[in-house]
Amino acid sequence: MIRVMVCGAYGKMGLEVLKAVYNDPQLSIVGAVDIKSDFADIGQLIGVEKLGVTVGNDLETVIKEAKPQVIVDFTIPEAVMSNIRIAIKNGVCPVVGTTGLSEENMNEIRELCEQHKVSALISPNFSIGAILMMRLSQEAAKYLPHVEIIELHHDQKLDAPSGTAIRTAKLIAQSRGYLKQGHPAEFEKYEGARGGELSGIRLHSVRLPGYVAHQEVIFGGLGQTLTIRHDSISRESFMPGVVLACKKVLTLEGLVFGLEHILD
Ligand SMILES: NC(=O)C1=CN([C@@H]2O[C@H](COP(=O)(O)OP(=O)(O)OC[C@H]3O[C@@H](n4cnc5c(N)ncnc54)[C@H](OP(=O)(O)O)[C@@H]3O)[C@@H](O)[C@H]2O)C=CC1
Ligand SMILES: O=C(O)C1=N[C@H](C(=O)O)C[C@H](O)C1
């Protein structure tokens, strides 16, 4: 049994992860951390009587008590880096879904992993469909280099564009390079109308109640368009990826970025 702890445990993803880990015969849920101070019975929230895990709001204290091997983090961009540092320094392998980490952060994590001989897995998206959407988009861009990305999420999401949209754009840029798209003299009558830009790729973020997590990658060519769309219609979509990551992270070397690296 692999001992797993969840950070951001009372959040939308955190609760789903607790359920998935609890239901997996090879994983054991040993701890739950969240910034909230009035802890409701976390077992009750996921429909389990007497879950019997260590719960608290100080990560290091809960680590010492619960003795996890793996920490799954679904918190907020401002908190994730500090959580990763604490996990690694305590010899615990992080599995991270929280978005918003910079290149600088990634370099620091890589060094920390090496220094403390700990492995880590970070993925901006844990759903297999989204991984395929990114892989297919990278391939399509070789033939149809003009592309824009529209990502659509629930209106409680903090970061824009989504980690998935950024990763998709970077993968596309790897296969087609920089490309100036649109009319050379185009201008915005309202600021932001053309979206954000990464390597010439326009990124558009929609935030509305009703959505979970969705993305369209639209390619345009002579007399044709190609749309690759992925929809996470519930947060269950991320769970097989998270569970797999909890099982594989202990066998990895250093930092691995992207679920795709442990799928095959
Ligand atoms: N990689 C992937 O596949 C996916 C990634 N995500 C990412 O995961 C993150 C979480 O998403 P989601 O669950 O929807 O967000 P939620 O806001 O529902 O959950 C985040 C939880 O973390 C808590 N929290 C905030 N700061 C800390 C801290 N310092 N220590 C411990 N807990 C803390 C929050 O408490 P409070 O509410 O009181 O602030 C909240 O309970 C986001 O970055 C999102 O983009 C989401 C889905 C899939
Ligand atoms: O905040 C979310 O919900 C999600 N965040 C991740 C992202 O930023 O890409 C993954 C997924 O889109 C859900």
Count of all residues that appear for the chain in the document: 264
Q: How far is CA 132 from the centre of its chain?
A: 15
Question: 249: closest CA among 122, 121, 126?
Answer: 121
pLDDT one-digit tens code per residue, 133-142: 999 999 999 9
Residue 167 alpha carbon, nearest atom of ligand 2: 9
157 catalytic residue (yes or no): yes
The dihedral of CA 261, 126, 5, 159: what is its sign? positive
The pLDDT of residue 84 is above 80: yes
pLDDT one-digit tens code per residue, 9-26: 999 999 999 999 999 999
Map out the domains of the chain with their CATH numbers. Answer: 2-122+236-262 (3.40.50.720), 128-233 (3.30.360.10)
- Mean residue pLDDT of the chain comes to 96
- Residues lining ligand 2, judged by CB closer than 6 Å? 99, 124-125, 153, 157, 162-164, 213
153 catalytic residue (yes or no): yes
pLDDT one-digit tens code per residue, 51-77: 889 999 999 999 999 999 999 999 999
* 54-56 vs 224-232, strand pairing mode: unpaired
Is the pTM higher than 0.90? The answer reads: yes
What is the predicted ipTM?
0.99
pLDDT for res 100: 92
- Distance CA(198)–CA(264), nearest Å, equals 29
Residue 110 binned pLDDT confidence (cut-offs 50, 70, 90): very high
pLDDT one-digit tens code per residue, 25-38: 999 999 999 998 67
pLDDT one-digit tens code per residue, 181-208: 999 999 999 999 999 999 999 999 999 9
How big is the CA angle at 130 (ends 126 and 131), to the nearest 5 degrees? 75
Q: How far is CA 168 from the centre of its chain?
A: 13
